[in-house]
Amino acid sequence: MKKLVGAVLLGLFYVAPLHGQSMDIDEVIFFTRVQTYEAIVDTTLVTQEGKRIPIAKGMRLNVAGFTKGEAFVISRSDKPNGFVSKADVAPLGRRSYIEPKIREETLSSEPPPR
């Protein structure tokens, strides 16, 4: 019985996609031109062959379009094209989180004037 359950689970692993969406190029709604986006968190690019490539936070990505939940990232060199989660990228120059404002002060060893 354990072998049967193991075989069924193994079969489902190969049939079920590793990523939540179907990741089909036919579902991509393309932009009129490629736009530069930035990874706002560490994420993973999944190629159409299923290969997973880690993407570091802050990396610039060339996005050609979107599916319902993913961005289609293309390479302008010989690197593979693939999909990343739409929530993990933001247009370059805009961040989806608020950066804390830092106030600059000058410290001196002299006491303040009275």
Examine residue 46 and state whether it is found in any structural domain, yes or no. yes
Whole-number Å distance between alpha carbons of 40 and 1: 46
Residue 41: which domain range?
26-91
What pLDDT sits at residue 73?
93
Examine residue 72 and state whether it is found in any structural domain, yes or no. yes
Examine residue 48 and state whether it is found in any structural domain, yes or no. yes
Q: Which two tokens stand for residue 25?
A: 């190029």
Whole-number Å distance between alpha carbons of 26 and 51: 19
Examine residue 7 and state whether it is found in any structural domain, yes or no. no
What pLDDT sits at residue 76?
77
Count up the domains in the chain and report the number: 1
Q: What is the CATH number of the domain that holds 32?
A: 2.30.30
CB count within 10 Å of CB 30 equals 12
What pLDDT sits at residue 83?
95
pLDDT tens track, the chain, 114 positions: 555 444 444 444 444 444 444 467 788 999 999 999 999 999 999 998 899 999 999 999 999 999 999 999 998 788 889 999 999 999 986 554 545 555 666 666 776 676
Residues contacting residue 85 through CB under 8 Å, at least 6 positions apart: 43, 69, 70, 71
Examine residue 96 and state whether it is found in any structural domain, yes or no. no
Examine residue 105 and state whether it is found in any structural domain, yes or no. no
What pLDDT sits at residue 22?
45
> First vs last Cα of the chain: how many Å apart?
86
User: Quick one: how far is CA 103 from the chain centroid?
Assistant: 31
pTM above 0.75, yes or no: no
